[in-house]
Amino acid sequence: MNTALGIRSWLAAGALGLGSAAMAQTPAIFKDADLKLGEKLIAENKCSECHARKWADDGNAIYRPKGRINTPSALRSMVESCNTEMNLGLFPEDVTAVAAVLNRDHYKFKQ
Ligand code: HEC
């Protein structure tokens, strides 16, 4: 019985450890982001079509993690200004969702 208990708390500790490791991969400002919504908004707003027209590729070369966008909040601000400039009409949580998807797929900032 003592052994079973021991194994159970060892498992719980392991799960907790994994949980915090996964969270460390996501910058705080993107933690509550709705990734499904972000993916949908990126598709609907033709982000890649416009970028592709200017960069003559699939539209992903524009996302340059080593460029001047070098923090999660800089990324979110960039999406916010694209939103304002092009009158996309995104709500603040939409902007966060879009930025979170770009982070997951391209920028990969960890904090
Ligand atoms: C009408 C054209 C157009 C549309 C539509 C557009 N963008 Fe952009 N975007 C640009 C241009 C042009 C730049 C480059 C600006 C610069 O480098 O100064 C840019 C740059 C960016 C960057 C910065 C890339 C980097 O690493 O430097 C991000 C992020 C971005 N756009 C996100 C988006 C998202 C998300 C959407 C859709 C919601 C979107 N854009 C829609 C034209 C567009």
Query: Measured in Å, how far apart are the chain's first and last C-alpha atoms?
Result: 42
Residues in CB range of 7: below 8 A, 6 or more apart:
none
Atom of ligand 1 nearest to the CA of 63: 26
Query: What separation in Å is there between the alpha carbon of 47 and the centre of ligand 1?
Result: 7
Q: How confident is the model over 27-50, as pLDDT tens digits?
A: 999 999 999 999 999 999 888 877
Q: Is the pLDDT of residue 13 over 60?
A: no
The model carries a pTM of 0.77
- What does the block give as tokens for 29? 């400002």
Q: Which residues line ligand 1 (CB under 6 A)?
A: 42, 45-47, 50-51, 54, 62-64, 67, 69, 75, 78-79, 82, 86, 88, 98, 102
Query: What separation in Å is there between the alpha carbon of 35 and the centre of ligand 1?
Result: 19
Q: Calculate helix-pair angle for 72-85, 92-102, nearest 10 degrees.
A: 120
pLDDT of residue 92: 96
Q: How many residues does the chain have?
A: 111
Which residue CA neighbors atom 8 of ligand 1 most closely? 82
Per-domain residue ranges of the chain: 26-107
